[in-house]
Amino acid sequence: MSLRVKRPHVRLTAAVVALAMTTGVAVAQTATSRSGDAKPDDYERWENVREIYFPDRKIEDGAAFITLEAPYRAQDAALVPVSVKATVPRDAGWSIKTVTLLIDGNPVPLAGKFHLFDEAGGGGVEISTRVRVNEYTLIHAVAETSDGRLFSAERYVKAAGGCSAPAMKNPEQAMARLGKMRMNLPQSLPVGTPVTAQLLVSHPNHSGMQFDQISRTYVPPYFVKSIKVSYAGQPVMDVETDISLSEDPSLHFTFVPKAAGELDVQVLDSKDDVYTGEWPVTPQPAS
C-alpha cells in the first residue's frame, strides 16, 4: 500500500490511480458496531504517511489541545466534513504555524496544508473543510508550532469510494459556475474578536479517479491547488490543497475584524487558472 505515495504532491497518472483502485479495500456498508475501528494495519499505514510528509520528524501526541472532528460513519464519502480546533494558552510562548490534514488511506493523503498567520487570530486555530475518503481510514491533523514542534490528533472514519465517486449530480449546472466563490460572514463582526467565515469555491475538483464508462477513460484530475486568504492586505491563511478535497471546496477559517478592510481570496487550480474574490468587511466597534 505504501507504493501509492512516494512523496508529497505526487501528480497522479491514470496508471497510479488504477493501481490504487485495484488495491482498495472492499467495504461492507452495513456494519454498525465499532469493531472496525483502527487496526494495526491502519497504524502501519500512518507510519508510512508520516514518513512521507514529515520525514525523520518526531510527532507528539496533541490530543490535549487539538480536536479533530469528523463523522465516525460518513453520510457521503465524497463530502466528509472535517474540522480542526486547537487552543493554545496565551502565555504558551508559541503559536501554531501550520496544520496539515491527512487522509491516510487516500491515494494522495494530503487534503490540505494550512499556513496560518497572525491575522487568523493569534495562537488558536479553527478550520473546517470537506474531504473525500476513499476507504476506511485514520485521518490526522498535524500542527507545527512556531518553535518547531509537531503535534497530532487522529480520528477513524468509516467511508469508502469518495475519490472515485462519480462527479457532480448535476454536471451542467456545476460547470456553469466554475470558479465562482461565496463568502459567508457572520452577522455580527465585533472589532478585535475572532470570527468564523466560510469560503466556498465552485470547482469540480476532479480527483482523476472518476471513471467515465462511456469514454472508457478516467476523468483527468482537475483540482484546486491553492487558496490564499488575506484581510486588510495581511495574509490570514494560505492553503495547499489536492484531490482529497471535495467538489466545490468549502473552507471555514477565523480572522479578527479590525478597522474596515477587505477579505481577498485567490484560488489557483491545476490548469493554472486563477480566480479571485473580494468581500468588504464592515466591523462593528466594540461596545
Distances (CA, A) of 86 to 90, 114, 121: 12, 13, 12
Angle at 15 between CA 11 and CA 18, to 5 degrees: 105
Q: How far is the CB of 184 from other proteins (least distance, A)?
A: 7
- What DSSP line would sit under 183-207, residue for residue? EE--S--BTTS-EEEEEEE----B-
**What does the block give as the cell for 142?**
498535524
* Smallest gap from residue 187 Cβ to other proteins (A): 8
- 167 near other proteins (CB under 8 A): yes
Choice between 33 and 75, CB closer to other proteins: 75
Size of the site for other proteins (CB under 8 A): 35
Please, are residues 134 and 210 in contact by the beta-carbon 8 Å criterion? no
Asked if 79 touches other proteins (CB under 8 A), the answer is yes
Counting runs of H as helices and runs of E as strands, what totals does the chain give?
3, 17
Look up residue 155 and give its amino acid. R
- Considering the rule CB under 8 A, would residue 202 count as an interface residue with other proteins? yes
Give min distance, CB of 228 to other proteins, in A: 21
C-alpha cell recorded at residue 218: 478516467
Residue 183 in contact with other proteins, rule: CB under 8 A = no
Q: What is the footprint of other proteins within residues 46-75 (CB under 8 A)?
A: 69, 71, 75
Name which of residues 9 to 38 contact other proteins (CB under 8 A).
26, 28-29
Asked if 156 interacts with other proteins (CB under 8 A), we say: no
User: How far, in Å, CA of 271 to CA of 273, rounded?
Assistant: 5
User: Which chain residues interact with other proteins by CB under 8 A?
Assistant: 26, 28-29, 69, 71, 75-76, 79, 81, 128, 130, 161, 164-167, 169-171, 173, 177, 182, 184, 186-187, 200, 202, 210-214, 216, 248, 250
